[in-house]
């Protein structure tokens, strides 16, 4: 399947049974936030290149039933619409920053499940939740502009998080409001999810590029 995300029928008990809990190393909070901001800035750069690409390429599905680049971006936008607001609410907490952050086992699992491998490959492919599937008939540039705007907002939220305790503050996941991740893990998962789908975007463009003149291709 090309459409990636957390499965709607996901069961926590399955994860508990399958995950081998390893020792999770603590990291300096400032270092983690710096790294995440660098990754978000790279996403902004990649999305800006997409704005210079022929809209026809961005709207072209690589195969029937497979998402176009813009459908992938709108899928990411749907996650941001939930998580950025959830993070903003969490940041109202008065719990002040600590020096170190230790990932939670569940948040670390989600992040590792989403993050592309070092060679750029992706695994654990799964069906996206219904609430995060893009609608038809999208307009390319507004979708891209919304994505870029939300990444700048994410950079601002990461700055705000420098003064907060990202280990003890928690945010509910979109799949179930009863499951809450450490704020630091929420940031990690959200960025890893975007990186995973940008691998999908590159693969999609590589599949459809032969249908368009080279002069219209930006990536």
111 falls within a domain = yes
Which of 9, 2, 27 lies closest to 111 in space, CA to CA? 27
Q: Is residue 100 part of a domain?
A: yes
Give CA–CA dist 123/12, Å, rounded.
19
Considering only 58-72, 77-91, 114-128, 160-174, which range has the smallest mean pLDDT? 114-128
Of the candidates 196, 108, 190, the residue with the CA atom closest to the CA atom of residue 151: 190
* Residue 54 belongs to a domain: yes
Lowest mean pLDDT among 8-12, 116-120, 122-126: 8-12
Q: Is residue 95 part of a domain?
A: yes
In a domain, 17, yes or no: no
Contact 202, 219 (CB under 8 A): yes
Q: For residue range 18-75, what is the model confidence (pLDDT) as tens digits?
A: 444 445 689 999 999 999 999 999 999 999 999 999 999 999 999 999 999 999 999 9
User: The domain containing residue 180 runs over which residues?
Assistant: 25-214
Q: Rg of the Cα trace of the chain?
A: 18
Whether residue 126 is contained in a domain is answered as: yes
Give tens-digit pLDDT for 187-207.
999 999 999 999 999 999 999
Rounded Cα distance, 27 and 29, in Å = 6
Check if the beta carbon of residue 171 is closer than 8 Å to that of residue 181.
yes
Residue 11 within any structural domain of the chain:
no
The predicted pLDDT at position 202 comes to: 94
Residue of 24, 187, 177 whose CA lies nearest to 91 = 187
Q: Is residue 15 domain-resident?
A: no
Q: Is the pTM of this model over 0.95?
A: no
CATH of the domain at 103: 1.20.120.450
Domain count, the chain: 1
């Amino acid at each position: 399947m090309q459409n990636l995300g957390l499965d709607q029928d996901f069961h926590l008990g399955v994860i508990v049974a399958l995950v081998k809990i390893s020792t999770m190393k603590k990291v300096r909070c400032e270092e983690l936030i710096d790294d995440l901001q660098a990754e978000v800035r790279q996403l902004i750069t990649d999305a800006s290149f997409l704005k210079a690409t022929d809209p026809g390429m961005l709207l072209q599905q690589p195969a029937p039933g497979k998402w176009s680049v813009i459908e992938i971006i709108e899928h990411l936008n749907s996650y941001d619409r939930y998580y950025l607001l959830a993070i903003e609410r969490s940041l109202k907490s008065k719990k002040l920053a600590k020096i170190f952050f230790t990932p939670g086992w569940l948040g670390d699992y989600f992040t590792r499940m989403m993050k592309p491998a070092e060679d750029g490959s992706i695994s654990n492919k799964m069906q996206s939740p219904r609430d995060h599937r893009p609608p038809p008939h999208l307009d390319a540039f507004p979708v891209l502009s919304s994505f870029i705007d939300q990444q700048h907002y994410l950079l601002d939220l990461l700055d705000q998080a420098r003064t907060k305790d990202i280990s003890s503050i928690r945010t509910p996941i979109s799949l179930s409001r009863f499951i809450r991740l450490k704020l630091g893990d929420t940031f990690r998962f959200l960025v890893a999810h975007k990186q995973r789908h940008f691998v999908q975007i590159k693969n999609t463009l590589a599949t459809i590029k032969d249908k368009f003149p080279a002069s219209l291709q930006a990536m």
